[in-house]
Chains A and B, each alone.
Chain A
């Protein structure tokens, strides 16, 4: 079996492409708007996306949730579109549209027949500058986002716990504030707040157009020039995305979150970790491999030790994506088996981490993970929308197209030594937050 496996890995290392074979072109309009075109001619479909380099971490203090609130409000009217007409027009054309907000970006997209691209560009370019909001829009839509918070957070003890934990992890940086906003600040969001954020950040020189699907790059460029080209750049756009930076963490932090709705307690640990930086993605690549080796699947170290060998856990996981503008986290979770306390689960986790930092990882594990990563580049070609998201996210998080295209190769070049060194740098308890999610204590 071992010999067979080794032979197989060698074959794949030779034949699987290290770089995605997607066809990507890029341009920049005179007003500073970046344009990325990804060709996929298998179906007569196009995904049209506009990404703004502005998310919840760019909000002013006291207005948490305004980036996401504005995203909702962009579906209200403009000078030429009635409220709701945008989505109604997309639907009449057989398309689907939506939008999403994260810490570092806000994005709007439509998925339509390829020949409807000009219509989408006309409407999307219109609402980049010409939004018209009424006080009534504000009141109703604010209720909607409060219900959204109810659904995502207030009704879900794990989400409440994560919110508290992020706030503990980030003392000074806006990643500690939830994207959807703190409830008490959401309740006070005003028309002026939304328009101020809109005026500051929504402009072509702060936006990236991503068009993916059955299109030709030169045609997309011509359309982009026609619809987005005339919009003037905003000269007052902040030259830097200034966020208050996190001070060095010098003391371990801990929290216990209790809620009567918790059925399954667990331990969650996060460590401050560097993110992918343009031109210097090696450290992040080693952390991606570390997360996979440690807790990416049932064959990973945590699963083998805690779920199979000692059976102290019913689930384990490690998470790190490196996709953020500023410092990120490396996350671990252990869900204890019945009869195992959270302290025992945490101790077992720390034992595994200590062993890893001491001994490093073996080459078999490393090869298996790399094999998966190489294959994922092939599977990724089946999902054009996923590729579009990959570029949109990267370009709003301080990376370049070249960084995106070099990433699979950088991952493939990571050595066991790199992984060990990344583990030693990051898995330091002084830079960690440990949270216990528990049910309510029974009265004495």
Chain B
């Protein structure tokens, strides 16, 4: 099955919490852990989301990839169960646990049936508190990671992502791939994994949400069971990155028919009072929908690509305004030229009253549609917490969108748009673009 267009796989940061009907309760456990809960007893299961601030940036340069390998091993044996025993036990309960890593977070998504919740919770707890890191499991998962690294080295998208990270982030941990390098992963020891485990999963940096068939009292007990025995505090987080936007177009030669490009300029933090105006500006320029200027100019009018997108990235230690496009080698230069032109045009002439009105009706109308399912709502709520939003944010969010004025849009366009800093990284055999 192939789709008409694909949304980019990125975190669309602009937060975007809930409809008024979603009743969020704050639950605090006897052990002092706090979670947001939406009780909904219509389906007999619960979705639980945990997010630990820290993530891949906690790796030391020597142990690059340690957190990634550690996260991959959480479900490969814990307490008295080895890898296969743990997998069988999970299947027998029909519970689902997934463990994920980003630059800033370790994410754990769990779902479990009401009828065997206690057993499922006990398994989840063991995977977080008492992973075994058995040597055979370490070697097996390490091999999978190494295979993935080799594949990334021959995939134009991954080559572009790495070339981008190196250029923009310099010597900050964000410059390194999360999975590490062949050399660093080969050298990782069990001790490295224990350190990564100790550092990455700590009670002071966890954010929790739950949605579904569970009461506040039961959830409170679950929190202490699952997380109570984790270390209280994690190590200091790395300082923010010093970002480098040299401008220009940076080509990495790779033999493939379609060139892949990533582009970026400085972004804006979510806490910034101008964030909503910037978010609307991005939506109009290239954010997610078919109606964006980039999609209209590059795809609809000229047929230069299947997809072109822009998005605001707000990591803990870096704010970027990013985008991506892919075009045949003979057409990528033109696509880049059109994108640069739209950047200039937006700075020179700004947005129209119509643009702003359409963006507002889209954002405010789309907002309540997000909250349709236990797993979805749980993910949104944990995102609200990591972004520092108040629990009643959803009640005011559309007002904040509607409060953005044309004057705000003009000011923020002037403040943010920086065509000279707009930097392109291209991987492929682009025609009309000199290789570096």
Contact = CB atoms under 8 A, between A and B. Distances in A.
Contacts of B21: 43-44
A280 interface: no
Interface stretch (A139-147, A203-211, A344-352): A139-147
Nearest to B92: A5
Contact of A263 (B3, B43, B153, B304): B153
Interface residues of A, number: 81
B369 A100 contact: no
Given A95-B369, A144-B305, A315 B144 contact: yes
Interface string A137-165: 00111111111101110110000000000
Contacts of A92: 358, 361-362, 365
B1 interface: yes
B94 interface: yes
Interface string A13-31: 0011000000000000000
Contacts of A72: 4
A180 B2 CA distance: 8
Nearest to B4: A99
Interface of B: 1-5, 19, 21, 40, 42-45, 47, 83-85, 87-89, 91-94, 96, 111, 113, 115-116, 119, 140, 143-144, 147, 150-156, 255-258, 260, 289-291, 296, 299-307, 326-328, 331, 358, 361-369, 371-375
A140 B92 CA distance: 53
Contact of B326 (A150, A335, A337): A150
A315 B91 CA distance: 19
Nearest to B154: A263
Given A72-B4, A87-B291, A150 B257 contact: yes
Interface stretch (A184-192, A238-246, A374-382): A374-382
A299 interface: yes
B300 A140 contact: yes
A82 B192 CA distance: 60
B369 A298 contact: no
8 contacts: A92-B365, A155-B260, A298-B87, A299-B91, A307-B140, A372-B91, A378-B45, A384-B373
A101 interface: yes
Contacts of B152: 263
Given A94-B369, A148-B306, A368 B257 contact: no
A66 to B, nearest CB: 14
A152 to B, nearest CB: 7
Contacts of A297: 87, 91
Contacts of A93: 361, 365
A264 interface: yes
B374 to A, nearest CB: 5
Contacts of A375: 94, 113
Contacts of B144: 314-315
A100 B4 CA distance: 6
A26 B305 CA distance: 40
B39 to A, nearest CB: 12
A155 B156 contact: yes
Interface in A1-54: 1, 5, 8-9, 11-12, 15-16, 40, 42-45
Contacts of B371: 43
Given A75-B4, A147-B305, A314-B143, A374 B94 contact: yes
Given A5-B92, A304-B84, A139 B303 contact: yes
Contact of A371 (B47, B92, B289): B92
Nearest to B152: A263
Nearest to B256: A155
Interface in A295-321: 297-299, 304, 307-308, 311, 314-315
Most buried by A among B1, B96, B328: B1
A8 B306 contact: no
Contacts of A381: 43
A211 B291 CA distance: 25
A212 B369 CA distance: 13
A338 B88 CA distance: 27
A316 to B, nearest CB: 12
Contacts of A152: 2
Nearest to A384: B372
Contacts of A260: 255
Contacts of A94: 361-369
B5 A98 contact: yes
Interface in A122-139: 139
Given A113-B365, A311-B140, A147 B154 contact: no
Interface string A258-298: 00111110000000000000000000000000000000011
A96 interface: yes
Given A88-B291, A113-B365, A179-B2, A371 B94 contact: yes
Given A5-B92, A298-B83, A375-B94, 6 more contacts: A43-B19, A71-B4, A84-B290, A101-B2, A297-B87, A335-B147
A359 interface: no
Interface in A65-97: 68, 71-72, 75, 84, 87-88, 91-96
A337 B144 CA distance: 9
Given A91-B358, A95-B365, A314-B143, A42 B84 contact: no
Given A102-B1, A151-B258, A140 B326 contact: no
Contacts of B327: 147
A117 interface: no
A40 B43 CA distance: 11
Nearest to B95: A375
A155 B258 contact: yes
A244 B154 CA distance: 39
Contact of A143 (B143, B303, B307): B303
A353 interface: no
Interface string A323-352: 000000000000101100000000000000
B2 A68 contact: yes
B258 A87 contact: no
A262 B364 CA distance: 45
Given A11-B115, A113-B369, A372-B91, A154 B258 contact: yes
B361 A378 contact: no
Most buried by A among B47, B152, B373: B373
Contacts of B93: 8
A383 B154 CA distance: 36
Contact of B299 (A88, A96, A144): A144
Contacts of B113: 12, 16, 375, 378
Given A94-B369, A150-B328, A141 B2 contact: no
A48 to B, nearest CB: 13
Most buried by B among A102, A113, A263: A263
A422 interface: no
A87 to B, nearest CB: 5
B91 A140 contact: no
A111 interface: yes
A261 B155 CA distance: 7
A147 B92 contact: no
B91 A371 contact: yes
A112 to B, nearest CB: 7
Nearest to B362: A91
Interface in A348-391: 368, 371-372, 374-376, 378-379, 381-384
